[in-house]
Structure 1
Amino acid sequence: MNLLLPLLLAPATRFLVVGGGPNPANNQVALEFNVQHFARILPKDAPYRVLFADGDAGTATVRFTPEGQTPGLKDQYKQPQLPRLDGAASLENVNREIASLASGGKTPVFLYFTGHGTIPKPPNPRLSSFNLWKFENFTAVDFARSLTSFPKDVPIVALMVQCHSGGFAKSLFKDGDPDQPPLNNRFCGFYASIESRSAAGCTPSINTKSYRDFTTYFVAALAGEDRQGQKVSGADYDGNGKVGMNEAFCYALVNDDSIDTPVCTSDEFVRRVVKMPEEEIFATPYSSVLKMATPAQRGALEALSTSAGLKGEDRLAVAFENYPSLGSRDSMDRIRGFRFVRLAKTVVMGSKMASHSDAALRRRYETLIKDEAANPLRP
């Protein structure tokens, strides 16, 4: 019996949190609060480690706006207050921590990155970067290569909420190159924005009730409570009493009132694997799309359609004509319309995977969909 005890007590998931900005001026308090919030809603006794800013709890590296002041005018700096701090958010430490997780057996892994991101000019999604302390960069290529050190059957989840984070969805593929085959692993991820756009969530404001960003809604849906500890409902789209990450993603698509344009790995997968003209995709009748969709996708499509003022069987075509892309100052109605276009495209293209000629790609997609439906925070 004693020999079985370690197996019975094995943790459900190991967590790594990487947070903070590249310097104090860009290390806004919202990033610290994200780490605090995420640590608070982890499963009891879940093993986790935190890399944040310079790794020193004694230095004033966190920028904040005092209550009652206008952000940016009289900002101040304070020491980070985190439940634990295991080191600086440096490239060396990130690589070391991921390597340690990869050597830790078959226990699932969850990686949460909350900070800033950049993409080079001209844009190269493979070089989308998470900006580490002292302006070191952890790129989508770095991430994809680090995933190859994990056992193939270990579930790995990435939640990345920095600007341009969608570029990291390409870590599904060898060397982060979508022209290469998908990696034979169990990686899935959720991202705050498409690779070409900024994301919300890097404010120096200490008023967490005003936060509108992907972390706020995605994590709230998974944990069943918001940043203030209030119960959150409405994300269990299939009514099975549990909320999967796929449902949390759709909940965020509907409720995140910000510039965010969330992306998940299955979005990226079907766009690279399924060959289908856009004219055919957006000519699909809306009623047919609803039949193809999962309960979560249906709920999000209906809500986004309503908020964007879309009606009729040809609403995919109308939406694509009106919301093919976004500018830097678009209204929430346009942002929701754009989210509708992206989600509808994923649903239509995803419906083609069941008949795809490549059996290995079909199996990889089935595994991806299954892993995206898990909930590591509330297993």
Structure 2
Amino acid sequence: MTRRLISIALVCAGLASQASARDYFVLLGGGAGPASSEVSIEKNVEWISGLLDSRGHEGHDVLFAAGLQDPTRDVKTNRVDPELAGLWLPIARVYGNRARLFEAFHKNTVARSADAATRENALDLLQQRLTAMQAGDNLMLVYNGHGGGSDEDPSQHHLRLWDNTRLTVGDLVQTLEHQPPQTVFRFVLPQCYSGPFLRTIHQQLSIGESGPVNTARCGFTAAPHHRKSEGCTEVEDEREYVDYSTYFFAALDGQSRLGQALSREPDTNGDGRVGLNEAHIYAATESYSRDVPGATSEYFLQQWQPWYVRGQTWSYPESSGDGHHARMVRTVAARLGFPADLDHVMLVREVSDRRIALEAQINGLEAEVRSLRQRELDLRGELARAGTSRWPELRNPYGVNFNGLEPENIGEISAWLESRPLYSELESVQNEIDAGNETILGMERDLGMHLRILRWLELSRLEYFLYRFGSRADISSYESLQDCESWTGLGE
């Protein structure tokens, strides 16, 4: 009887512990300064913060740009005024920066952003939450902003935080040394060059690390170490947003950020809840962007492969087409128009051929744009010299005399510039540059989709070989990371 009472007490204690478990969320956002703190970042952080509120996580933390106490106008936007465009555009074409003609700044409106999103504040906040955590608790870090990299040392890839500070992979791993036992840390990092943050599952960050991993850490990134990701735009129209966060958190919310129905049901296992892994799969298959998303379990597979698997590059066993990576391949391959009956080897070849062709086209277009930019500089120089000989005030746009020019003077200058023989050529060259950059972006997005297919084919192959040749410890680590990634604490 006594043993039974003890057992019941232990079970009740366990249930009480689980019931009291807390979920902590830290949202970081903004740029290194106002010029890189675009309005889309602000909108993403506000949207995700609202989603957390709707899930009962009103106590989540937010650090955004300069914070709310600092009066700095820390968000950049772009609001075109058609009337002023006609007046100022010729001057901007010759003397200024067309892309920044209607650049404007405002103070951020992120309600919970008490402090600036600096490296020091971010690390202090993470340390505070880690210190407060008890067994069963979860901590999730979500970032929206810019990233930077290092070709020599992946541990130096970083979040570009406010006041030109950096939070590196190494900083995060060092901070996580204080993670209490039986707690879980997760992250969503969609910035450019974010892939090396998947290395946080390692206690040591030596390049090529393939030792034991900490499966109480997991997360998702939007791009490999060498690629840019989508997002961070001064455009206010959210219909144009195709970044990883837009799709990832829409899957968790059950609707798009505009309140519209999703393109498909993200709950792939049918349990009625959307896990983080399912949100990742939704973002990776439903977005059309230059992103090549990654997850910690995928990174584990790539690091695990022994030499005898690494050498079987073209080996795609039949059963390797049964997992979720293979299903992702089929979804996107069909979207790109590849025949459904292609086996893995043929699909690799065809996708690789398209990839090579796209990269060659991108390189060719980039060379053309560079040539056009040189011609643009020459034309601007000639027109600028002619203009300043007539209106010397144009030599110093920050001077009192320039600011004293009346609107009719601006109109006169613009009309005169437009009448110059070289102006029409300048306008044509700049329009060609814009069109070329737009085409390059479209091709970069095409390339991103093809790179995803190649990545998933490789992961499908590696997963097959892991279950065939991997040790029990390796398989256990892989499955534990997948369990960590499948957390449903946010999905409905």
TM-score, shorter chain, exceeding 0.5: yes
CA distance in 2, matches of 1:337, 1:65: 32
Q: In the alignment, is residue 60 of structure 1 matched against residue 67 of structure 2?
A: no
Matched, 1:335 2:365: no
- Going from structure 1 to structure 2, the CA distance change for 1:246 and 1:210 (only over 3 Å counts) comes to same
Counterpart in the other structure of 1:162: 191
Post-superposition shift, 1:46? 4.2
Q: Does 2:108 match 1:80?
A: yes
Please list, as runs of the form range in 1=range in 2, the aligned pairs for 1:1-379 lying within 5 A after superposition.
10=20, 12-42=22-52, 43-57=55-69, 58-66=71-79, 72-103=100-131, 104-106=133-135, 107-120=137-150, 122-177=151-206, 178-179=208-209, 181-232=211-262, 233-275=264-306, 277=309, 280-284=312-316, 288-291=319-322, 293-294=323-324, 297-311=325-339, 312-313=342-343, 314-323=346-355, 329=440, 330-378=443-491
2:276 and 2:491 in contact (8 A); partners too: no
Q: Distance in 2 between matches of 1:67 and 1:123?
A: 42
Q: Is the Cα–Cα contact under 8 Å of residues 32 and 165 in structure 2 kept in the other structure?
A: yes
What is the distance in 2 between the residues matched to 1:157 and 1:298? 25
Q: Would the alpha carbon gap of residues 279 and 337 (structure 1) be closer, same or farther in structure 2, given more than 3 Å must change?
A: farther
CA distance in 2 between partners of 1:9 and 1:194 (Å): 38
Counterparts in 2 of 1:310 and 1:278: CA distance versus 1, 3 Å: farther
Partner amino acid, structure 2, of 1:369 = Q
| 1:160 shift after superposition | 0.4
Rounded Cα–Cα distance in structure 1 between residues aligned with 2:472 and 2:315: 28
For residues 108 and 86 of structure 1, the distance between their equivalents in structure 2, rounded to whole angstroms, comes to: 22
How far the C-alpha of 1:299 sits from its partner, in A, is 3.6
- Per-residue CA shift, 1:23-58, capped at 9, x if unaligned? 000000111111101111111244310111122353
> 1: distance between equivalents of 2:155 and 2:456?
23
Alpha-carbon offset, residue 376 of structure 1: 2.5
Higher helix share: 2
* Structure with more relative contact order (C-alpha pairs < 8 Å, separation 6 or more): 2
What is the identity, as a one-letter code, of the residue corresponding to 1:256? S
Q: Secondary structure at the match of 1:352?
A: helix
Q: Secondary structure at the match of 1:249?
A: helix
Rg larger for:
2
Contact 2:210 2:303 (8 Å CA) reproduced: no
Q: Which amino acid aligns with 1:81?
A: T
Query: 1:71, 1:216 → 2: CA distance?
Result: 24
Distance 2:34 2:119 in 1: 17
Structure 1 residues 302-311 or 139-148, which shifts more?
302-311
1:190–1:264 Cα contact (<8 Å) kept = yes
- Structure 1 stretch displaced more, 325-334 or 18-27: 325-334
Conserved in 1, the CA contact under 8 Å of 2:275 and 2:490?
A: no
* Aligned pairs, number: 372
Q: Percent identity?
A: 24
Q: Say what the alpha-carbon RMSD is for the aligned residues.
A: 2.6
CA contact (8 A) 2:326 2:457 kept: no
Letter in 2 for 1:222: L
SS of the residue aligned with 2:115? Answer: coil
Shift of 1:163: 0.7
Counterpart Cα distance in 2 of 1:44 and 1:71 = 41
Q: Which amino acid aligns with 1:352?
A: F
2-side partners of 1:141 and 1:351: how far apart?
32
Residues 145 and 175, structure 1, Cα contact 8 Å, conserved in 2: no
Q: State the SS of the aligned residue for 1:89.
A: coil
Name the CA distance, whole Å, in 2 between partners of 1:222 and 1:126. 30
Corresponding letter in the other structure for 2:229:
A
Deviations 1:183-214 (A, max 9, x none): 43411111111110111110011111110110
Q: For residue 450 of structure 2, what is the amino acid of its counterpart?
A: G
User: Aligned with 1:250: secondary structure?
Assistant: helix
* Whole-angstrom CA distance in 2 between matches of 1:238 and 1:323: 32
Q: Give the TM-score taking structure 1 as reference length.
A: 0.89
Cα distance in 2 for partners of 1:356, 1:139 equals: 34
Give the Cα separation in 1 of the matches to 2:473 and 2:157.
Answer: 28
